[in-house]
Amino acid sequence: MVFTTESLSDAHRRKWGGSSADVKVYRAPGRVNLMGEHTDYTEGFVLPIALDLACYVTRSKNASGELRVVSENNGQERRWPTSALPVVQPMHDWSDYIVGIAKELFRAGYPVEPANLRVHSTVPIGAGLSSSAAIEVATALALLDGRSIPDIELIQLCRRAENRFVGMPCGVMDQYVCVKAGAGSMLEIDCRTLESHAAPWPEEVAILAVNSMVRHELGQGAYRTRVAECAEARDLLGVRALRDATLDQADTLHGELRRRTRHIVSENARVHDFLAAGSPAERGELFYASHASLRDDYAVSCPELDSLVEIARGIEGVYGARMTGGGFGGCTVNLVDPAAIPEFEAKVRQDYLAAYGVVPGIYRCMPSAGAARQV
């Protein structure tokens, strides 16, 4: 679903008043990662696309001295005197994303002016499609309100807000692709140099995300544990980051650290193999290999995601499937022959419902452009 500027502006004015000339609309997309899972925080390679699902933040000025924000997604409203924003403490809820961005903007020399914001996201929230980076980047653009900022600074600032204030030790992928993606292409990002290049997505293959509709409590703790395990393996191997390790080096480690390192090394290689692959079938095989690695070596999958991958594997016209995002729930990403989409949707719904009693969300993903003001 894509909102028009006019409908967003009308909804904003119903909430906050003012005239349509006062309202500006900012859009920042969610993303789905095609290859390179959990590699960004080891200075590795990732290959996401931005989605047509996005977070829209509308903005108008106010004379109250406050930053006021309402989220259409949860119906909640918050307000703070702008002068107090630098000292607000985390509330451990959605408002931390807004305040975290405001604080980082102050710190970077872009003071936040009093404003009314309305947030409305079409990215499913907490499903591994990065509603978090979408709300961060859209909020940052709305608070900057036309003040220019280099892309890399915006990306790093949003990541710092999530790392420091929300308390999630995420890598740079989500904010990066949200800002820099191009329509119709995937973005290969080198998370060490922060350089990227776009590669066109072949139109003959459809990308579908399937939402398992589960979100395990395990997720956040396990993410933190994986980040720590990668740091430990790095120190034992004496490399700058696990991106620099080899499979032979991984085999000198033991137990879990060996398996974790094997995933990071093989997954980085799969990013390059995916870009070099000549056919949808080859790309699909890399998807299945990535899923097996995330399930067995990295241990971030769950029965629901494994089941969605196995259901997809049995459908004619499916090239490949894998979990995507942090894991322990959220989405799989599937490469499908467009002619097979109706069959895919029907079978995935039916079999997943039979197995777990839940109807999965299914989203056709169109590689879309990065964040911008929407006029």
Q: Which residues are catalytic?
A: 174
Beta partners for 58?
25, 118
Whether residue 170 contacts residue 97, with contact meaning beta carbons closer than 8 Å, is answered with: no
Identify the DSSP state of 62: -
Closest to Mg ion by CB, 97 vs 110, is 97
How would DSSP label each residue in 126-179?
Answer: TSSS-HHHHHHHHHHHHHHTT----HHHHHHHHHHIIIIII-----SHHHHHHH
Cα(181)–Cα(160) distance, integer angstroms: 20
- 181 belongs to the binding site for ligand ADP (CB under 6 A): no
CB neighbour list of residue 349: distance below 8 Å, 6 or more residues apart: 359, 360, 362
Q: What minimum distance in Å lies between the beta carbon of 139 and Mg ion?
A: 14
- 211 belongs to the binding site for ligand ADP (CB under 6 A): no
Helix (H, G, I), strand (E, B) or coil at 89: coil
Residue at shortest CB range from Mg ion? 132
Q: Which does 279 bind (CB under 5 to 8 A by kind): ligand ADP, Mg ion, none?
A: none
Residue of the chain from 4, 7, 20, 74 that contacts ligand ADP (CB under 6 A): 74
Closest to ligand ADP by CB, 330 vs 367, is 330
Q: Which does 97 bind (CB under 5 to 8 A by kind): ligand ADP, Mg ion, none?
A: ligand ADP
Q: 130: burial class by Cβ within 10 Å (0-12, 13-18, 19+)?
A: buried
Question: Site mask, ligand ADP, residues 22-61, x = CB under 6 A?
Answer: ---------------------------------x------
- 127 belongs to the binding site for ligand ADP (CB under 6 A): yes
- 173 belongs to the binding site for ligand ADP (CB under 6 A): no
Closest to ligand ADP by CB, 59 vs 243, is 59
Q: What minimum distance in Å lies between the beta carbon of 250 and ligand ADP?
A: 28
Closest to ligand ADP by CB, 135 vs 250, is 135
- 249 belongs to the binding site for ligand ADP (CB under 6 A): no
Cα(232)–Cα(164) distance, integer angstroms: 21
Q: Which does 94 bind (CB under 5 to 8 A by kind): ligand ADP, Mg ion, none?
A: ligand ADP
Residue of the chain from 94, 176, 319, 352 that contacts ligand ADP (CB under 6 A): 94
Element (H, E) at 80: strand 77-81
- 7 belongs to the binding site for ligand ADP (CB under 6 A): no
Closest CA to 27 of 120, 132, 129: 120
Token pair 């790309």: residue: 283
Which region among 58-66, 125-133, 200-208, 233-241 touches ligand ADP (by CB under 6 A)? 125-133
Closest to ligand ADP by CB, 220 vs 343, is 220
Label each residue of 274-336 as H, E or C: HHHCCCHHHHHHHHHHHHHHHHHHCCCCCHHHHHHHHHHHCCCCEEEEEECCCCCEEEEEEEE
Amino acid identity at 128: G
Whether residue 212 contacts residue 305, with contact meaning beta carbons closer than 8 Å, is answered with: yes
Tokens of 179: 């800002």
CA-based radius of gyration for the chain: 21
Whats the size of the chain, residue-wise?
A: 375
- 298 belongs to the binding site for ligand ADP (CB under 6 A): no
Residue of the chain from 53, 99, 135, 271 that contacts ligand ADP (CB under 6 A): 135
Closest to Mg ion by CB, 37 vs 351, is 37
- 131 belongs to the binding site for ligand ADP (CB under 6 A): yes
Where does this chain bind Mg ion (CB under 5 A)? 130, 132
Which region among 14-22, 131-139, 205-213, 291-299 touches ligand ADP (by CB under 6 A)? 131-139
Closest to Mg ion by CB, 213 vs 236, is 213
Q: What minimum distance in Å lies between the beta carbon of 338 and ligand ADP?
A: 26
Residues that bind ligand ADP (CB under 6 A): 55, 71, 73-74, 94, 97, 119, 121, 125-132, 135, 325
